[in-house]
Structure 1
Amino acid sequence: MVSRHHFRELKIWHKAMLITKLTYQCSAAFPSDERFGLTSQIRRAAVSIPSNIAEGSGRGSVKDFSQFLSIATGSAYELETQLILAAEFGYLDETRLQSVLDELAELQRMLYGFQKSLQPEN
């Protein structure tokens, strides 16, 4: 059972929430013609990370939780790519990009480590 992992108590969930907030702040200044394009994609990817952590923590098995952590990790890499694209399009300055990417890299490591900790030792 994974019920011992309530998502609000998980450091990975708190880090993912921070990244989501940072992403929304960054994308608020994107051009209005990107509202249904890159802005929407970036925000969906960011929201997907803490959402999948939360959903997985509510599942009944470690295997299910691990699968949702994998989805969250995939969304983190998707977000990383989209933020780099936003910077290349000139929507995001290099300093802000690097700040968010640093937080994202830390979350990716945390997700990997947490997922590994759920696996039974052989």
Structure 2
Amino acid sequence: MITAISSYSYNGQAKANNKQTNRRKEKRKSLIKVTVRLIAAAIFFIIVFAGFTLMKGDASMSHPAQPTADERLIVVGSGDTLWEIAGKVKQDGDDIREVVYNIKKRNQLENSALNAGQSLIIPAGE
């Protein structure tokens, strides 16, 4: 009697293990993708928030102290410029650039832009 030796082997368990390993790898990749996206979104919003926080608008202007008895209070009209106002209030012999500087400093203005209806304090001696 001849006995045949079979070379057939069943490796179904190995395939099942491979599927589980592949699922774990896919879950890990998916988790990494989600984590990276969340971190990127957080960094983006932090940068945007910091940018808006650092920007200053005219709405957040600080108000100067109340005018003293020697100072005058004027209201800016439509089309008025700081240079024109300084020219009207300066005394003979005063440098108009110095008058403009003093008005800006007294009113805590960052630039020469004026709005109609805005109140300006004219420092004493101008």
Mark yes or no: TM-score above 0.5.
Answer: no
> With CA pairs under 8 Å and 6+ residues apart, which has the higher RCO, 1 or 2?
1
Which structure features the higher share of strand residues?
2
What TM-score, normalized by structure 1, do the two folds share? 0.25
Q: Which has the larger radius of gyration?
A: 2
